[in-house]
Structure 1
Amino acid sequence: MACSKIFSGDLPELTNEIIQHFRKDFSTLHSCILVNRFWCRLAIPLLWESPFSIPTRNCHYIEVYLRHLNEEDSIHILYCDSLNSDFVQQIIKVIKPFKLRSLFMKEILYIESLHLLLQKCGDYLENFEFGSMREEYEESRQQFLKLIMKYCTKIRRFTSTMPDDNNIYRLIENTKQTINYLTIDNYYDELGSIVLQNLGQVLPFKLEYLRLSLSFNSNDFEIFLKNSQNTFIKKLLISNMMQNESVSILFYIKKYIMRRERVKYLAFSEFFPDIDTDEELFFLEHEVNEFKLHNIIVQKYSDLYISVYNIIYNFNK
């Protein structure tokens, strides 16, 4: 009787505990997905943890899982380095809509496979992260950005840690109607200048969230502030790795942001590499009170920061 209840799914907690013991037993997990839909939903996440580490490299179980998805289920592909043709073919075989909501990339090994993937489900993509890549992927990186611009017109969240390609700014400009969360994260000196000289003029009139983690000088920062003065940002996070200059960036934040009340929540920190220390605006009580007079709430950087896992968790709530 107990066995029949387990196989029918009447004892979900016990069934889940049993299947967890098969975490590295790939052949048993493959058998589990064929028992019923409930077992499939328990077993597939264990296989999905590192799908291409399985010696057989058999992607058929991915197709099985996708076929059991509900219509409202969303897919999030995070830092999967091996989006090869076998993987994508399993997706293409699925007749029902494949709602790929998130795609976070650090390497581009198979540009042809990515092309097919975006052709099928790029219209659903909302969260896109484009990480730093080795020089050998430069050509593929440029091709991939063009594919994103062609097939993905509903991007709401975009993150880049390698903002040296003009197509990145074209992508932001092309998605002005939908983009709401934007992160640029790179501490190379020359890239900070590139970002601040090109970003302000392509921003939409309103953003929910903008995080800039860069190394920049005050001149470039002022250029950005002037070019983006028509944009209202609900949550603005700025982290600057200080270069060798005496002018604090805070002066420009007050001049262009505080006095014009262009943000609602602000987090600002400066890191001084020479003495290995940082200063955060939140801990300067007098400054915090001054911003409050202009209806701007200063918060801790860590409190305003939105991680990848925050995005996925909130998306699936």
Structure 2
Amino acid sequence: MAVLRFLATATACAGAAFAIGHFMESGVSRASATPVDLPQTFADPPMLTAAATEPAPVATAVFDRPRLSRSPDRLPGLDTHAAASAADGCESRLTAEPRPGAIAALRFVAPCAPEARVTLRHQGLTVTLLTDAQGTAGVLFPALSREAVFMAEAAGATAVARTVLPDVAQWRRVALQWRDGDGLSLHALAPGARHGSDGHISRATPVAAGFGPSMVALGHPAVPEARLAEIYSAPAQDEAVLSVEIDVTARNCGAAVLAELVQADAGRGLTSTDLEVTLPGCDAVGELLVLQNLEPGRTLAAR
């Protein structure tokens, strides 16, 4: 049958070609000739093919990266301590005041955003706060740069503030940031110290008076999609060894945990270390993972 279809088609094509030649020899111009529809021929039955598609990119959680080029001089229109923006007739305002120990006292006011989620950013760190019934939130933030810039956003309104902290070079700062529910914590052990001894610093360690080592927890865990951080502060000559601990819980067992360690010192500036860990299954709930050798500028992955 395929041979018969081929012969019939060939005969039709030959006839059409002969007719066209006859018209051309009779002096009929191409402009006045009647077009002839030639039948399509296929050696095999036509097949429909779908356009090739590329696989969708795999979504990854990305943290804000510290950028050394974030200079207050490149933010025109800001005054010494605060800049405000208005949205829908409600003015939001962020102020930053320097405190001893290279600490910035931040106060965010958003009258039209009571009990709202606030996203606060500084030098690659992102934490979430919660305003009170009057739309205000405050935090003491260990700064990572001398000319510190902070940005707060709530209910679509953004406010920016900056302050100068001349003594930031006297401090070693290491910050760990992650998403709520991952059970992370930052720990520092002084030379010769053991876990739970006097030389062990964590968020459970009471903040001592003076200028000794301390750990500050930032972020409100009750906020939806909370972003949390812990910042370790110590004099610049500090030699404590840092580690990250992850509690395996029913909420994070078997999941991939992404976090970032941001370090600031006078010699190297800002450096970061990516942490990518796949936790064991839920039969390991209650176990503790400890990540060490947290060298800056690298990615630490564990499976």
Q: TM-score range by the shorter chain?
A: under 0.3
Structure with greater proportional helix content: 1
Q: Considering only CA atoms, is the larger Rg found in Structure 1 or Structure 2?
A: 2
Report the TM-score, using the length of structure 2 for normalisation. Answer: 0.28
Report the TM-score, using the length of structure 1 for normalisation. Answer: 0.27
Structure with greater proportional strand content: 2
Q: Does 1 or 2 have the higher relative contact order (CA < 8 Å, sep 6+)?
A: 2
